Amino acid sequence: MELNTFSIAARCPRTGQLGVAVASAVPAVGALCPYLRAGVGAVTTQSWVNPYLALRILDGLAGGAGAEAALAAALATDDRADLRQIGLVDAAGAGAAWTGEGCTAEAKHRTGAGYAVQGNMLVSPEVIDAMARAFENSAACALDERLMRALEAGDGAGGDRRGKQSAALRIVEREDYPCLDLRVDDHATPIAQLRRILAVARAQLVPFVAGMPRKDGPAGALPDEVAAMLLKPPGERPGAPSDRAAYLQAQFAPVLKEIETLRDLDLAQVHPPIVFDPSLPYRQVSHD
């Protein structure tokens, strides 16, 4: 499957967290592109997706290879590397990326301290530059916020030239399960929706995950305050919309925007204008 998309793989130098944020104009991008392993690395595979490349890269990193070496070794196993786009960071924060010559233009990647940004079928190369700047300029923030800002910057610069449909954000830290795994699989404004879901997750999901069993400690149980919070209906928990009307308006905003777009369309070149004339049936028709 060809996933023409833009993404960032990154590492937080303070916590060691590894994460991927990705957006595309195909559904469920989070199901196919991001591959992460705590303490090892974070990889995103896109364009003509080959998940086995991501898995081989993670295996290479786990075996002691650096980011560039693991990427090169994985690509050497692929008979159509020209169609692939890969971005990754290793556990030390070294970034590496690959954009094959067969990727749909505009296609570009960029690496820096602790990140790799990449995209194809973009409005312009500025999408990648804007994402890199957003990540670099938010060094004081937590990794989830830095990844979110990078996606928003790419979206603001035009993103995928076909439009918008899905987005995802996944982060691992010490455990074999993610500490954050959020997806918007089909939405008119997926990155804005992902931002909203992130706010809810910070208040409701993150405290729950923080109380889950650890592989190097006792299983224990959820703190009482977290359990009490989750026993409440969603609308009564922290992070729930305080203004139901405003919340619903935000949900329908994309639909209203599409209606406005349709109203402004000039279809004269596609279909001749139709004129309603109620007198037409009563007109005298000349047979001369």
Backbone phi and psi for residue 280, each to the nearest 5 degrees, phi listed first: -55, -45
CATH of 2-220, one of 3.40.50.720, 3.60.20.10, 2.30.130.10, 3.90.105.10: 3.60.20.10
CA distance 153 to 134: 6
State the sign of the Cα–Cα–Cα–Cα dihedral 104, 76, 54, 92.
negative
The model scores a pTM over 0.85 = no
Residues 6+ apart with CB under 8 A from 166: 23, 24, 26, 27, 28, 29, 30, 183, 184, 185, 186, 187, 190
Residues 6+ apart with CB under 8 A from 124: 106, 157, 158
CA distance 92 to 87: 15
Domain ranges of the chain: 2-220
- Give the residues across from 41 on adjacent strands: 37, 90
Q: Which pLDDT does position 230 carry in this prediction?
A: 75
Q: Which pLDDT does position 55 carry in this prediction?
A: 98
Beta-carbon count within 10 A of 138 CB: 17
Residues 6+ apart with CB under 8 A from 68: 94, 96
Block mean pLDDT (10 aa), the chain, length 288: 81 98 95 97 96 98 98 97 98 98 94 97 94 97 98 92 91 96 96 96 92 82 75 76 56 66 64 61 58
